Amino acid sequence: MTVAILGRPNVGKSTLFNRLCRIRQAITHAEPGVTRDLGYGTWSLGGAASTLIDSGGVITGRNDEPLAGQVSVRARDAAAAADVVLLVVDFDGPTATDHTLADDLRRSGTEPIVVVNKADHASRDPDAARFHELGFRDVVAVSAAHGRGIDTLAELARTRLAAAAATRIDAAEPADVGPENGPVVRLALLGRPNTGKSTLLNALIGRPLALVDSAPGTTRDPVVGRFAARAVRFEAIDTAGLRRRARVHEPVEYYSTQRSVAALERSDVAVLLADAREEIADQDKRLASLAVRKGNGLVVALNKWDLCRPHERERVIARARHHLPALSYVPLVTLSARARTGVAALIDVCAEVGRQRARMLPTSRINEAVQRWNRTPGAAGAANRAVPGRRPLRVQYGVQTGANPVRLLFFVNRAQVPAHYRRFLENRARADLGFDRVPIIVDVRGPSAGGRAGAR
């Protein structure tokens, strides 16, 4: 079941969305028109969960703001498809736009709950009755910023949803907006501005969910799309383009950057999207490094491949690999999100990276591999030469201590282990244990340590 938040700009829709979802997902700012794409969250109503949709401000009449028309259309479409609509208005209204929206909803047969926001004190509640002039029976005064009136709103919404469920013929919800049902592989689409992240999200889910425009910075709030492919459920998060911190000046852009980093932390696989016609920039390298440090799977995707000349393509791939020398194990795919070529290959790679990251191996398999490594003369010999007079370095025992991200612990027979031997263990574990496409954390514990050291 879905609940859509509708209203003109700057009435507090995103503040209400964050309040009802109990998270700070949508960016809130005094500047009108901050929200552009639809945002999805979960509103828990007495043990039942509904999908809550935050929409951009609807503007009626002529407006010269970029993307205003697309934003309004998306908001109206979300309201038309929802089971319950919350028409959010500012306490200082109603305005002509509020009346126009009310007329539109009435013509469509929708009876919204009118949410009079910014009623910050109980003394204001009786004055909210004037919003009955919009022609709807349920009017509730709230303060989204302070949490006033939220319980009353929740009870009204719960009653409306129960009635909608009783009359609904098909209760199945679209896969891209329905609540989570079982484990999914979460993808974070990262990259600098204007590399095609929103176009890629739309290509992945098969319909235009995210706004696409040639102007950098179109995406602000993270946009979530869900789809299934290769017997895997995916959740893809389109994030704002990340620029160097020194170039982030506007508050809205700052909050967009923070939400993007938070999306990375919630993801399983980071898809670093870069323009194939340009070199991998320092900002791309920092994003890749951040993803690996957090234990995410990582896939590098070179977009706009169709714009590269055929005789240049080998050089482009070699150049990308050259700029990411420490990430030779990271899959690299080429695609055109606009032409939707290479998207299927990206899905295959992301599915495999997700599987490897979630894999838990039996201890017996790890120790069979350990015995083979102990018979590898090169690594042990180099380690012994590094510490003259010491007994041969051997791994006594190995165990996997975690997944998502993959973490391995090896017990060795010496307290001090050279750095190159740690790298040897990491490389062998990646090659021999089926973790060849994901970052792994290798912990080593010696006999006298009680402590441990890790290498990634």
% of the chain at pLDDT higher than 70: 71
Q: Higher model confidence: residue 337 or residue 57? A: 337
Q: What pLDDT score was predicted for residue 384? A: 54
End-of-domain residue from the set 122, 138, 167: 167
Please, what's the largest Cα pairwise distance for the chain? 91
Q: What pLDDT score was predicted for residue 385? A: 55
Q: Higher model confidence: residue 276 or residue 225? A: 276
Question: What is the domain extent for residue 313?
Answer: 185-358
Q: What pLDDT score was predicted for residue 17? A: 87
C-alpha 374/C-alpha 271 separation (Å) is 36
* CB atoms closer than 10 angstroms to residue 308: 18
Query: Domain count of the chain?
Result: 3
Find, among 309, 289, 299, the residue nearest to 343 by Cα. Answer: 299
Parallel, antiparallel or unpaired: strands 139-141 and 84-90: unpaired
Average of per-residue pLDDT across 423-450: 87
Q: What pLDDT score was predicted for residue 169? A: 41
C-alpha 272/C-alpha 338 separation (Å) is 17
C-alpha 306/C-alpha 335 separation (Å) is 8
Per-residue burial over 90-125, b = 16 or more CB atoms within 10 Å of its CB, e = otherwise? bbebbeebbeebbebbeeeebebbbbbbbbeeeeeb
C-alpha 118/C-alpha 125 separation (Å) is 10
Q: What pLDDT score was predicted for residue 315? A: 93
Residue 299 placed within a domain: yes
- pLDDT over 60 (residue 455): no
CB 346 within 8 A of CB 271: yes
End-of-domain residue from the set 358, 390, 412: 358
Residues 150 and 11 in one domain: yes
Average of per-residue pLDDT across 322-347: 92
Q: What pLDDT score was predicted for residue 349? A: 95
Of the ranges 157-161, 196-200, 247-251, which one carries the lowest mean pLDDT score? Answer: 247-251
Residue 35 placed within a domain: yes
End-of-domain residue from the set 333, 358, 383: 358
- pLDDT over 70 (residue 210): no
The tens digit of pLDDT for each residue in 69-107 reads 455 666 666 667 678 888 888 888 788 888 888 888 888
Token digits for 209? 């969910």
For position 309, which CATH number holds?
3.40.50.300
| Alpha carbons within 13 A on the beta-carbon side of 42 | 9
Residues 9 and 113 in one domain: yes
Residues 384 and 300 in one domain: no
C-alpha 263/C-alpha 261 separation (Å) is 5
Q: Higher model confidence: residue 242 or residue 407? A: 407
Element (H, E) at 454: strand 453-455
**Residue 452 DSSP SS3:** coil
Residue 449 placed within a domain: yes
Residues 269 and 213 in one domain: yes
Residues 367 and 265 in one domain: no
Q: Which ranges constitute the DSSP H helices of 111-250?
A: 150-167, 197-205
The tens digit of pLDDT for each residue in 295-325 reads 889 999 999 999 999 999 999 999 999 999 8
Residue 370 placed within a domain: yes
Residues 153 and 297 in one domain: no
Residue 401 placed within a domain: yes
- pLDDT over 70 (residue 174): no
C-alpha 426/C-alpha 455 separation (Å) is 8
Residues 211 and 343 in one domain: yes
For position 431, which CATH number holds?
3.30.300.20
Find, among 235, 251, 219, the residue nearest to 71 by Cα. Answer: 219
Q: What pLDDT score was predicted for residue 219? A: 43
Residue 351 placed within a domain: yes
Residues 371 and 433 in one domain: yes
The Cα-based distances of 159 to 83, 125, 138, 429 in angstroms read 12, 21, 12, 55
The tens digit of pLDDT for each residue in 370-413 reads 998 888 765 555 555 555 556 678 889 999 999 999 999 999 98
CB 67 within 8 A of CB 36: yes
Q: Higher model confidence: residue 126 or residue 379? A: 126
The Cα-based distances of 61 to 8, 94, 131, 135 in angstroms read 12, 17, 22, 21
Q: Higher model confidence: residue 209 or residue 176? A: 209
Residues 237 and 375 in one domain: no
Residue 180 placed within a domain: no
Residues 162 and 275 in one domain: no
Residue 174 placed within a domain: no
Of the ranges 262-271, 328-337, 344-353, which one carries the lowest mean pLDDT score? Answer: 262-271
Q: DSSP string of 286-326? A: HHHHHHHHTT-EEEEEEE-GGGS-GGGHHHHHHHHHHH-GG
Q: Higher model confidence: residue 192 or residue 209? A: 192
Q: What pLDDT score was predicted for residue 180? A: 44
Find, among 189, 296, 184, 178, the residue nearest to 240 by Cα. Answer: 189
Confidence band (pLDDT; 50, 70, 90) for 240?
A: low
Across the chain, mean pLDDT equals 77
Residues 198 and 303 in one domain: yes
Residues 149 and 190 in one domain: no
Q: What pLDDT score was predicted for residue 416? A: 80
